Amino acid sequence: MRISARSLLNLGLLGLAAALAVLVYWEPGVEAPEDLPRLTALTSADVEHVVIRPQRGGEIRLDRDQGVWMMRAPVVAYANEFRIDALLGVTRAASHAQFETGALDLAKFNLDPPASMLRLNDVELAFGDSEPLDNRRYVRNGSTVHLINDEYFYFLQAGFTAFVSNRLLPPSGKPAQIRLPQASVSRSGEHWTLTPAQEQPSADAFNEFVDAWRAAQAVQVDRYAGEESRGAITVSFEDGAAPLEFLLLETDPELVLARADLGLRYHLTPEQAQRLLSVPAQASAATAE
């Protein structure tokens, strides 16, 4: 199978976002102007709560819970740690110019009301227009308007799906059963069982299949609009957590799974489809150990 043009585009966009995040952090070839003031007194590590009010769309709320980022609104889901870390680079953004709000007509800079808002803990940052000369963004923090490099505004406009984790399963989730439309793999004690099967696969085959599910990450997450499914896949967990149900929407030219409870679709490559939808190969002898 060939990967679709849409998936190639999505992979390219993800790569571009990753490159931008690295550039934001390291700014290669440019020495940090240590004498410039910063937009905030926070560090990335200080931030436990994030609220995004984009130019369009609803509010996004993110919380750090015991070191793990979670989305709280508009859906409850594990969050995309990489994307959040890139956004939190705004805490150390250098301020190239500062203006007191009392000396400005904030409406002229699209700061009253602001184009977008970002709250980090109790610090509210209002994002306005960019200035044309150096393409820097006006950002108000309290009674001061700053001019900062214009990387972060576009993170705020990405939509909530950009901040949802690409992982199919929770980071610590250990499957006890994976039910595909055509078969089921279940664990009882130390043994795995494939049903239906005349002969059981090897322990290695079971482990490779389950590990593929535990490691699976989508190349894109977007909204599920209620498309018709071809069946369901259910994953149950050893710790008794609520099972997850994935609707099987497409298998060619890419694998598309949906979480109807979250209103999300996960796009995966044909190679991932082969690993996730093919039951463990049955051995000519032996049972699972």
Q: Report the DSSP beta bridge partners of residue 221.
A: 266
Among left, alpha and beta (phi > 0; psi -120 to 50; other), residue 35 is alpha
The enclosing H or E element of 188 equals strand 184-188
Say what the pLDDT of residue 35 is. 83
Q: What is the pLDDT of residues 32-62, one digit of tens each?
A: 456 899 999 999 999 999 999 998 889 999 9
CA distance 160 to 83: 11
8 A C-beta contact, residue 192 and residue 287: no
Question: Residue 2: what pLDDT?
Answer: 46
Q: Mean pLDDT across the chain, nearest whole number?
A: 88
Q: What is the pLDDT of residues 2-27, one digit of tens each?
A: 445 555 444 454 555 555 554 444 44
Q: How far apart are CA 18 and CA 222, in angstroms?
A: 18
| Domains of the chain, each with CATH number or no CATH | 34-163 (no CATH), 175-277 (2.60.40)
pLDDT band of residue 288 (cuts 50, 70, 90) is: very low
Distance between CA 3 and CA 250 in Å, rounded?
A: 12
In this prediction, residue 273 carries a pLDDT of: 96
Q: Give the integer Cα–Cα distance in Å for 154 and 136.
A: 12
